Structure 1
Amino acid sequence: MNTIFSVVCFAAIMALSSAHMCLINPHQRGSMMGLNKAGSDDCILLTGPCGGRAISTPTAILNPGKNTTVTLQKNLDHWAKATPGYFAVTIMQGTMMKEIGRVMDMGEPSLHLYSVEAMVPTGMTIGGAVLQATYVTNNSQAPAVFYQCADVKVEM
């Protein structure tokens, strides 16, 4: 009985510590160390919003009404064929929170890069905003959502 419990606990810990998603462009908050290896410590953030990382210096300029390209990395795969997940990009400013792009997880391998073409909403004010990327796994054997954020500046 103790052996089975130990195996179940080990599997649960591995599931909670093994999925990762990185925000490449704009540059995610914190470090981007180890992105070329699956399972990078800088790419596992499980607490929303923004994985609990503090606000940083803006790493990109966004213009309302214009397209922007967001580049994400599936740092470690958690695709489930029966219930595929997705990557979403949301922009947040003040009380406004709007999803501006989404791409499906189609079972690409770890370290795969995704480009999400997104329209920056009109009506945003000049100043700081947050671009949040999420990996919604839809996999009961993995954490539900992984988070990354980039601090951006909105200009006309």
Structure 2
Amino acid sequence: MRVFLIVVCFVAYSSAHMCLISPPQRGSMMGINKQGANDCVLTKMSCGGRMATSPSVGVRAGMNFTVTFQKNLDHWVKATPGYFSISMGTDDKGTFKELARINDMGEPSLTLFSRNVTIPDNAIGMSVGVIQVTYVTKNPDAPAVFYQCSDVYVFRD
């Protein structure tokens, strides 16, 4: 019984999470108001292993757009604080360009972050882009990076 409790505690701890609220993340947002939500534990590069979806949000190249995400489970370590990165690319296999970086200052689990970013002006025509948010933990006792992506239409004047 003791071993079972230790395993359960380890799984709960190691399943750190980061959820993308706006634009909406791939997959669902079920349970995101509870620490350790299953839909927010994506550790596989570069979009957590989730397939692209039909974009639900349109953005214009060169415009400002507010990205909102949640630190679903805290992994801050004072000696090696991590960060969150907001990036954009043309698909989840390509190169992402970092648009903003927010330092992890030890905010508690379920903290919301919003950052205004400028959509890159190099989008060609009306295409689909990928907004990626990562949580780089720099915590030796946690996964190195958590990923979330959202597919967006990118319009150009």
Output the TM-score relative to the length of structure 2: 0.88
- How far has the Cα of 1:27 moved from its partner? 0.2
Q: Does the C-alpha gap of structure 1 residues 11 and 145 become closer, same or farther in structure 2, counting only changes over 3 Å? A: farther
In the alignment, structure 1 segments of 5+ residues that lack a partner are: none
What does residue 83 of structure 1 align with? Answer: 80
Match of 2:143 in 1: 143
Deviates more, 1:46-55 or 1:88-97: 88-97
Cα deviation 1:68-108 (Å, max 9, x = unaligned) = 11001000000011111111011011545201111111111
Deviations 1:17-66 (A, max 9, x none): 32100000000000100011011000000101100001111021111111
Aligned length: 151
Corresponding residue for residue 114 of structure 2: 115
Partner of 1:153: 153
Q: Which moved more, 1:143-152 or 1:95-104?
A: 95-104
Q: Could you tell me how far 1:12 is from its partner in structure 2?
A: 9.6
Tell me, in whole angstroms, the C-alpha distance in 2 between the residues paired with 1:17 and 1:84. Answer: 17
Residue matched to 2:52 = 55
Give the equivalent residue in structure 2 for 1:72: 69
Map of 1:36 onto structure 2: 33
* Contact persistence 1:89–1:99 (CA under 8 A): yes
* Aligned partners of 1:19 and 1:142 also within 8 Å: yes
Check if 1:25 corresponds to 2:22. Answer: yes
What's the counterpart of residue 97 of structure 2? 98
Instruction: Return closer, same or farther for 1:90/1:100 CA change in 2, 3 Å cut-off.
Output: same
CA distance in 2, matches of 1:140, 1:48: 18
Helix, strand or coil for the counterpart of 1:36?
Answer: coil
Could you tell me which amino acid in structure 2 is paired with residue 111 of structure 1?
L
Gaps of 5+ in 2: none
Q: Render the CA deviation track for 1:122-150: whole Å, top value 9, x for unaligned.
A: 11112101111100001111100000000
CA contact (8 A) 2:12 2:36 kept: no
